[in-house]
A and B are shown apart, each in its own frame.
Chain A
Amino acid sequence: MKRLIVLFAGVLCLAACLLVAVMIFRGDLSMGSGKFLFLLTSAGWFVFASTQLMLKNK
């Protein structure tokens, strides 16, 4: 269950990455802040995905 929740959080981060890209394209976000948000959401994916992998290998 814990693994599933962590994986879901990771997938949400990936979805957020795509959302940021769409917002930059539409002009809702400036390039600078959009790129920063993309970096943050990407970091979120790596944190959750590696946690999920750690839980899996436990």
Chain B
Amino acid sequence: MNSVASRMDKLYEFDREPVSSDKLQTGARFAGLFAGEHVAATEFVIGAFFVLHGVTFSDLIFGLLAGNMLAVLSWAFICAPIAVKTRLTLYWFLRKIAGPGLNVVYNFINAVFYCILAGAMIAVSATAVGVIFGVPIPVATDILPPSLAWVGLTAVIGLLFTVLAVLGFEKLSRFAQICSPWIFVVFIAGAVVMLSRLGVRADLGNLMEVAQQKIWNGIAAAGQDKFGFFHILSFAWFCNLAMHIGLSDMAIFRYARRWTYGFYSAFGMYLGHFVAWICSGVMVAAIGRDMHPGLMAFEALGIAGAVGVFIAGWTTANPTLYRAGLALQTLTPNWPRWKITAAAGLLTTILSCFPLFFMKLLDYVAIYGLVLMPIGAVVLTEYWIFPRLKMKQYRAEKHSLLWNWRVLAAWILPLVCVFMLPVHLYFKWLPGYLITVIVYVGLQFVGRRES
């Protein structure tokens, strides 16, 4: 484990030092970054699933407004302040707290989650190609691949994305910068075009009536749970749980001049997780509530719409594959970057064949956030609460520990507790967060008394 940890340190060696003041970025860059990152391929699926889950119009609007505001506040008051004060990535900060061994485990779990997410994005792109070539796509309740044609399609697209990622992340990142404003336009234009199919008059006089009766009418599709205001609020809040409460976005905010830059996340939340989700809801209602992102955009905007869905999947799968490769690289000694990217891409391609991850995206997002959330709670406790309780900080660093068992216990115990809690998956994370803080403080207190 020691050698794995030292390899991991080499990989992140350029991030070891706090960001210097000459590298700090302007607020406009944060606004652009968030707006681009949160108008992704998954938005075509999430907004559409809200319709399938029978959300009412008022629950959707108020739930999204409140949930997104809580997400923005989480970035601004939890993630950004720690990032601005430490100027470190979560990786290096967690190393001081949890020890290098536990850091490896955290990174590996993160890599697997990234691969699944990239797999879901490949599947979204596959629906766009499928609609052009007439390949039947899975239905919302499918878990296993529905046909050989689907497996072939996702495999070809997954391998194509992997090869392009191997050939150059940077060029693709630049291409993604060009694409993101257009993808946002595809969402809005697709919804506007589909309004006429839903019967909205040109004077918009019956827009509200159509929204309440034909789109978000409160009737869940067969096999889907009924969602209400609190489901939407909670989902909008935890959708990026690993990033804000889980503190992954310390990597971004360490470049911020002030902690208030956390409020720039509103550009991502209210453009991507509000406007784009509403637009995809309109589109799915117009095609008869069929969970088919490619068909939604194709029916609205033709080839350009299908290309939009394909590119949205590609440009968002690309950085996700990169992050997965970076995290996996620690476990593969002496492998060059292309090889590890290819391995991550292969795993992602296999996962993308299974509709489970694409059709259960909402639950997957919940589990992803839930599993990584305790680490954010541990870091927050260590940074803000320990000094106030006069407890020693950074135990792993001071005692050169490979594993801080208290952190591991504070990670696993709350997860076991919340998985047994008889509440909906979406409501488990908040009690889990509080339990983690209590368990971690308690373990530290007991440890202090013993020593």
Q: A25-B195, A45-B182 are in contact. Are A35 and B189 (CB under 8 A)?
A: no
Do A46 and B178 touch (CB < 8 A)?
yes
Bound-complex Cα distance A22 to B193 (A): 7
Do A27 and B202 touch (CB < 8 A)?
yes
Bound-complex Cα distance A38 to B303 (A): 9
Q: Mark A2-23, 1 if CB is under 8 A from B, else 0.
A: 0000000000001001101110
Enumerate A5-58 residues with CB–CB distance to B below 8 Å: 14, 17-18, 20-22, 24-27, 31, 34-36, 38-39, 42, 45-46, 49-50, 53
With A14-B182, A45-B182 given, can you name 13 additional A-B contacts, CB distance below 8 Å? A17-B185, A20-B189, A24-B192, A25-B195, A26-B202, A35-B302, A36-B302, A38-B302, A38-B304, A39-B302, A39-B303, A45-B185, A46-B178
Enumerate B267-307 residues with CB–CB distance to A below 8 Å: 301-305, 307
Do B303 and A35 touch (CB < 8 A)?
yes
Q: A27-B196, A34-B193 are in contact. Are A14 and B185 (CB under 8 A)?
A: yes
Which B residues lie within 8 Å of A34 (CB)?
Answer: 193
The residues of B with any CB-CB pair to A shorter than 8 Å are 174, 177-178, 181-182, 185, 188-190, 192-193, 195-196, 200, 202, 301-305, 307
**Pick from A25, A39, A45, A46: contact of B192, CB under 8 Å:** A25
Which B residues lie within 8 Å of A14 (CB)?
Answer: 181-182, 185
Do B193 and A24 touch (CB < 8 A)?
yes
Which B residues lie within 8 Å of A27 (CB)?
Answer: 196, 202
10 A-B pairs with the lowest CB-CB distances in the bound complex, closest first: A35-B302, A21-B189, A49-B178, A21-B192, A39-B304, A26-B202, A24-B193, A25-B196, A42-B304, A17-B185
Dominant SS among interface residues on chain A: helix
The residues of A with any CB-CB pair to B shorter than 8 Å are 14, 17-18, 20-22, 24-27, 31, 34-36, 38-39, 42, 45-46, 49-50, 53
Which B residues lie within 8 Å of A25 (CB)?
Answer: 192-193, 195-196, 200, 202
Which B residues lie within 8 Å of A46 (CB)?
Answer: 178, 182
Which A residues lie within 8 Å of B303 (CB)?
Answer: 35, 39
Which A residues lie within 8 Å of B195 (CB)?
Answer: 25
Dominant SS among interface residues on chain B: helix
Please, could you name 28 A-B residue pairs with CB atoms under 8 Å apart, sorted by A? Answer: A14-B185, A17-B182, A18-B185, A18-B188, A18-B189, A20-B189, A21-B188, A21-B190, A21-B192, A21-B193, A24-B192, A24-B196, A25-B196, A26-B202, A34-B193, A35-B301, A35-B302, A35-B303, A35-B305, A39-B303, A42-B182, A42-B304, A42-B307, A45-B181, A45-B185, A46-B178, A46-B182, A53-B178
Do A38 and B189 touch (CB < 8 A)?
yes
Bound-complex Cα distance A10 to B302 (A): 21
Bound-complex Cα distance A27 to B193 (A): 10
- Nearest CB in chain B to that of A21: its residue: B189
Bound-complex Cα distance A17 to B182 (A): 9
- Nearest CB in chain B to that of A17: its residue: B185
Bound-complex Cα distance A18 to B174 (A): 24
